[in-house]
Structure 1
Amino acid sequence: MGRITKNKKLALEKLEAGKVYSLNEASELVKEITFTKFDASVDIDIRLGVDPRKANQMVRGVVSLPHGTGKEVRVLALVTPDKEAEAKEAGADYVGLDDYVEKIKGGWVDFDVVITMPPVMGKVGPLGRVLGPRGLMPNPKSGTVTMEVGKAVSEVKQGKIDFKVDKFGIVHTSIGKVSFTADKIVDNAKEFINTINKLKPAAAKGTYVKSIYLSSTMSPGIQVEPKSVAD
């Protein structure tokens, strides 16, 4: 059995075994049980009552968090020359097309989000074998394939994230940093959970949101009462 570290022991002492916390309580507590020397991410895991193997029960969408994620998002804009200035003005970190397509084919993936346009998807499509497994492939559904390049770049920079239920029926994402106030964590969590609720598939039967857990990098998970989100 692995040895429990001093910090993990301190964290576990603050958690009541078997207790399900309100979102407000969990947002305060996640800050208290985090002892990392860096500004840890605050993560949320939501287990849904869906079968992701069935197309009519897939849960996927985008959400703009009111306070952003706290992360510096590196954006690559693969665009035609007439859209380059728009992308740069909106804050894209890398802007271009052919040169970057070749770099990616060579294995370069030093970015977090790709924004592109429908007219260049013929060039971007073949990059799927590199970008797909890393979850970086642009997609019209997530707003990353669009003619409104500047708007898309700005939204991503300000905290827009896309998410997708995994094969186990769990949606996982980061909703901020431990340095955020508890109120900001609550606001971001509510926005994310409410978005998940709006995306409930008609084919999903029984309890939709089965469980919610809040945690930070390397901290134990705190179970959240789903009904408390509506408070």
Structure 2
Amino acid sequence: MNETINLLKNHRSIRKFKDELLDDETVKELVLSAQSASTSSYVQAYTIMGITDPEKKRALKEISTQSYVENNGHLFVFLADYNRHYELSKDKGTPISYDKTEQLIVGTVDATLAAQNLAVAAESMGLGMCYIGSLRNDMGKVVEILELPKGVIPLFGMVVGKPDHEGSRKERLPLDVIYHENTYKPVEETKDSVEEYDRSISEYYKERSDGKRDDTWSDQVIGMLSKKQRLDVDAVIKDQGFLGQ
């Protein structure tokens, strides 16, 4: 297997970093790597914001509740962004709209592709990283903290830095569960694979927690998805001009 594939397959989230900020050149190279990702129709409907202000990092940590949002080498926030396109369209006398679902999907996908490029670039440098979806715990507050104009929404963050622990690689769902060829497989066809995976994940948690935790993947995700979560996200997205009113 080549070096790139080995890097990708060895990914693990890092949540504890050495007390050392990334230098400007490293940040620049990471962002340039992110920008090299594919983008739908060359729209580039995203912005990457670096958060270095200690007060803003602290405020974002309060929303996330995760300490590493404040304590890291660098905090990036990925934004779906049509503000620049809208302002440019006014200058050119050809107004645009971005209030349809397709524009939200394009901005989200563009930002996510860029983020994953940045993640891989960081890991190739020996840095660790972790995505921060918990910034959506209060998306409206994040909009306020980052002073985001209409046409811009915060999707997620990413912390990057020099690892201060090894982390652990979590096994993913079996290939036959994720990869379907030509026709969508009925869930019944992969039930045995999921059950075997559940047993494996339960053992992983037992080992990591000295027996204090033994839940399965199925129990974990069904429990999470059965709860109402982040109900304000829809309203904030619409308030920023997406998905109509």
TM range (shorter): under 0.3
Q: Output the TM-score relative to the length of structure 2.
A: 0.22
Higher strand share: 1
Higher helix share: 2
Greater relative CO (CA pairs within 8 A, separation 6+): 1
Q: Output the TM-score relative to the length of structure 1.
A: 0.23
